A and B are shown apart, each in its own frame.
Chain A
């Protein structure tokens, strides 16, 4: 749940990058950290709680203070979850208080089953937090579009974006920073749109 501090005129929002193992969630955060334009001091350190082999163990965390909108400082906290199946409890912990989700799918044909399972796992974990994808804004990112084994976007749409309400989806090659900012800007836009329409879903501190 986002937090708004009227005293300091700050809005704090949590976005979680979710998806199958080795799909490119951490790469998205690395690219945002390397390439985002911010004023000095507005970009925090990228913190990775990873194993010795560089696999995400707990989460990656990147705080960014974006430009002020009409006098409100907007602070975004970007998290990734560990994609490996065994770390499900950790994924549930990271999802706590989530405001928006970026589902990073791996475009390779052989990863489709993992994509679908990870998406189902997201829905299950949201249910444990009494949340669902109808109430949380989310976008899809079809990563690794540069690989020769990438499945057609239409096929991925059929598998992952086949709900009653379709959501924005972006093709991406995250390691080249292609599609990364488009995805992030869209989830940001959806979040702000939601807050304008449902301004009671924030914790207000006066």
Chain B
């Protein structure tokens, strides 16, 4: 995780972006760096994953094997979603005046590095198991409580 944070931090500082996130394609937030201000990073992760998935659907409609990148241009902030590997994506939030070319350039090298990190992590312990014995089933009986 520290290495992921380091790569994201380097991406943000080199490209002059505001923030960068690593997300799972199911919509989970894995890591984030930078100043997201009042942005809700959890929701941003879910929506970015959905947008990317929809873009892959469009790619298949026009017989394009893969779109690896989605760019959303805004008036104040823009957004770049870049594929990392089969499971994850990199999302970069940057101010509209920042060059998208620079963001793409630094994002490309960052995702190459991140993909290697993920691959190394999975090879290190492909059957990685977690001990959930600490979870007490009784605790979940009323996991969510209703008000009033």
Which A residues are closer than 8 A to B by beta carbons? 1, 3-8, 12, 14, 32, 35-37, 44-45, 47, 49, 58-59, 61, 63-64, 66-67, 69-72, 75, 77, 79, 89-90, 93-94, 96-98, 177, 181, 184-185, 188-189, 192-193, 195-196, 199-200, 202-206
Contacts and interface: CB of A to CB of B under 8 A. Distances in A.
Please report whether the interface of chain A is mostly helix, strand, loop or mixed according to DSSP. Answer: mixed
Given A37-B147, A77-B27, A77-B46, A185 B128 contact: no
B148 A35 contact: yes
B36 interface: no
Contacts of A192: 132, 135, 137, 140
A47 B46 CA distance: 10
Given A44-B40, A196-B135, A97 B143 contact: no
24 contacts: A5-B1, A5-B30, A6-B130, A14-B26, A14-B28, A35-B147, A58-B50, A59-B50, A63-B42, A66-B143, A71-B134, A72-B134, A79-B27, A97-B25, A177-B146, A184-B144, A189-B143, A192-B135, A192-B140, A195-B135, A196-B133, A200-B130, A203-B24, A205-B30
Contacts, number: 136
A189 B54 CA distance: 31
**Interface residues of B toward A: which range?**
35 or more
Contacts of A69: 134-136, 139-140
B132 A196 contact: yes
A193 B137 contact: yes
Contact of A3 (B24, B57, B125): B24
